[in-house]
Structure 1
Amino acid sequence: MKGKTIYTNTIGRLDKLISLNIEEITDYGLLELQMSLVRFNVTDSIEDISPYHNFTFWANDGRLNVFPDSFSIADVLPDMTFSAFLNKLKNWLNLDIDFKHDTVTIDYVEEKFVETSFRDESHLEADRYIKKSNQNKAYELKDSKETIYITKDGVVSNISEYKSENVNTIDTGVDVMKIEKKNSLFTARRREGSDFRILLYDGLKNGLPVTVSAINEIDFSIENVYERLWKNWLRFRVTSETIKDKFSCDIYENLTTELGRYKYNKTQLVKKISKRRVKENRWEVSIESETLG
């Protein structure tokens, strides 16, 4: 690298970290590094500023990527409670998590909502109800590095024309660890300050547990996560109509959020149900739902 210019700037101040990684050294003799600065001035040509040089050098001895023979579970688990970890997974992978007694059922919302069974509730139609379009809403789906915006037109470059109260943010909280080459190996670099970091591992490569950026063309980029786990669900949310109605019914009516409903000539996914007993065998029911299709 002798005589090679490796960095220039025009702001009048130089503050640059330069890292050198020496690989496959067979000669264990003296390694000499020499650096100098020159300033080029259009009027005065090159001016010697060597008296003002201020370099700091340091070196770390030893090999990179020396893998340990054993691991403690504390070394690989996130430093958070299980409920916080579960919420991270839910926001990242768009999961529906249902707790019933001693059973937990986990489904992908992206797949589950299109398989919903619908119950005909035409006999429970109210004379008046509230209907509101959701096409004025937008979503931003983000991780620690990237953000994408979704509206009724699909993925767009910005949503500045949308009111802030109509923008829903889904922060996955995920930090996809950067893959770097070190000592002829590919490994993930941890970024400090992130409590939910992920990487991809696809088995040993040449006998070493190295990381990869994708497996079968699947990676953890926010675009890939959106296409696989959020696209249809968010498309539904920004093209649907919200319906709110109130009616009375027999207490034995099977009203549940697990079933969709057919009412007012539309199929709907039920979001919220509230009930109030007004007579011994009658409920006053308020339901909020969103139209599907």
Structure 2
Amino acid sequence: MPTLRAVKRRIGAVKNTQQVTRAMKMVSAARMKKAQLNMERARPYSGKVAELLQHVLPSISRDTHPLLKIHSPIEKAGFVIITADRGLCGSFNTKIIKLAENKIAETGKEKCSLICIGRRGNDYFRKRGYNVIGSYVNFFNELDFGHAVQIVEQINNLYVKEGLGEVHVIYNRFKNMLTQELRAERFLPLLLEENESVKYEQCLFEPGKPEIVHSLVPRHLNVQMWQYLLESNASEQTARMVAMDNATTNAEDLLKRLQLTYNKTRQAVITREILEVVSGAEAMKQ
């Protein structure tokens, strides 16, 4: 049976940990609300830009823009992997990393170039010898549209100059407070499939579709990457808030068990001391 001092020391340690997890839960809840608001505000715009592009692209040639060209056969592929900079967010990072490893294995590790957004993914893939050609860390607390533009510029240069066959983005899409959806989406080359649910027959495109494509493609890619970052940030903060809430609840349950152990141990000590006193008194009578 553990000593009273050991149990008391452990109770103190659990209480200190519970204070930390409770504080982190409150901080994550505040950040989650802000991240979720930014993400929800950006969704309509990114969706409309994508819809317009889906209508324009099928009617033009892929030679119109270098980011529309298909590099065949696919000898090299790029993966943009969006994780968090920190842990303590449940399985948020591990699920993304596992999905990324599976996708990379399908293509072939030696054929893949990685751009890691977030310290967790960057550290993981660098230590395991993957070809990490771009790293973006420690900017989620000060997330800015310029970060998305910077990342897209590197992706575009790699696609055009290095001849990457495809570029995929692996991230978590926010669904609700309890669910984040793992996604692996093709970023380049852009699809030329028209969305039949969106009709623009009455629209007149000026100065012309090729000119619009040259302006719209970079804007679409920047906005889409910005949306990926916002979705991932909202998912991360939600996952961390839930993880810290679970940790706080588990700490409370553990404290109850430790307090019960403490009481039992204390009772055993008192009982033993009483028996020793009684035994001593009996010995003195004899």
Same fold, judged at TM 0.5 (above): no
Structure showing greater Rg: 1
TM-score (normalizing by structure 1):
0.27
More helix by share: 2
TM-score (normalizing by structure 2):
0.27
